[in-house]
Structure 1
């Protein structure tokens, strides 16, 4: 395992980190990085799908060649559904691979949604307990690799199949229970609805290690891939950003737009729009 400690991504306060899911997963990784360079993006957050066809070593080389750093690697998902022993071992093995890949890429953190409930299970409490146990199992290895585990609460509509952690408060409780190296990723899309968001963020203090933005469309037509470009939906993004800043977070702001409609557009149009909206709306 690579053990170099990741450095925070270089960025200016006016420049977003681009989560590469915003441009989809069908374009060649190096072409995506070239487009980022054309628009002044110096830090990205890839999903593992983005470099699956070329391998993590080549992906790391491509990033270094372009002086682009990695903020967050997406993602660690397998603990919640892993109800039997065989699935549990598979989830831990996969988590170890994610840590190794994150270290190779020089990522600061790994987003950890944990996964939903077991396919035949009915207990979200048990799924959440497995997620905590998974974090505790892998955390020492992540610390040794210099990578934070960024627990990301998802919207409650995702609790059954994608992420059983459904609030900032729950994510913070899990991070504290897990111990040093477990932090919290705040995604405005997943948390804006929460009536306890301000109090939960205020209590989070030094637990927040990342902040993501996109927008909630009305109507929303897909539970995963119909996020909106900032300014096209109903989230008061400046307000959420102020609350996150008031909680003490002053790090990078990441644009993560899971949208089949946006991903189908020309890549330069997507990134240009991201840069304009980030500056004018967020």
Structure 2
């Protein structure tokens, strides 16, 4: 009898152990599935957040690029207005100079007896000499033009130089180089205006003969042949002993 009881007890214990081993296995599988589901959801949310951030970065980059383009346009328009204002002032001064008070008959006779005398006696004068800092800034701009060929950067630096160091010897040179750079780009209208400033406002500067010659070149390249010839002929009249006079004479044969 005891033998049967022991066998029954053993079977009971085995069933209990089997039940205990079966239930936790199911529960463990269910928990693992839940963890995987939760992990996938977290990954999906993280991926979504990354996508949103990337879209925001692309949007901001687009806005920055748009603002940069607008700033470049404003800077270019500002430079053009600046030199256009100089040109208008020059034209106003020229009109006033072309309308002098009526001269007496003796004065008229004297002027007719010695035509172009004042033009032939055109002499250069000394302008304000540059400081060391001014000279260094000017040399840096020349390096941008001659060595680096960074013309757009040079244009910005030339305008800044003219604004910071007005009415100096190198200021006139800066206007001249502004014309040269615009001539190379080529932006002929701007080149014409820059050379006009040197040739008219600073007619007694050593760069004036070259500027007058280059003004004629710009006019010719713009198709204004009659105006170009008149300008080129005036070089020898105003600066007969300059190298620019010979260059102007040679260039007229090519028009």
TM range, smaller chain: under 0.3
TM-score for the superposition, normalised by structure 2: 0.25
Normalized per residue, the structure richer in helix is: 2
TM-score for the superposition, normalised by structure 1: 0.24
Query: Greater RCO between the two (CA within 8 Å, min separation 6)?
Result: 1
The structure that has the greater radius of gyration is 2
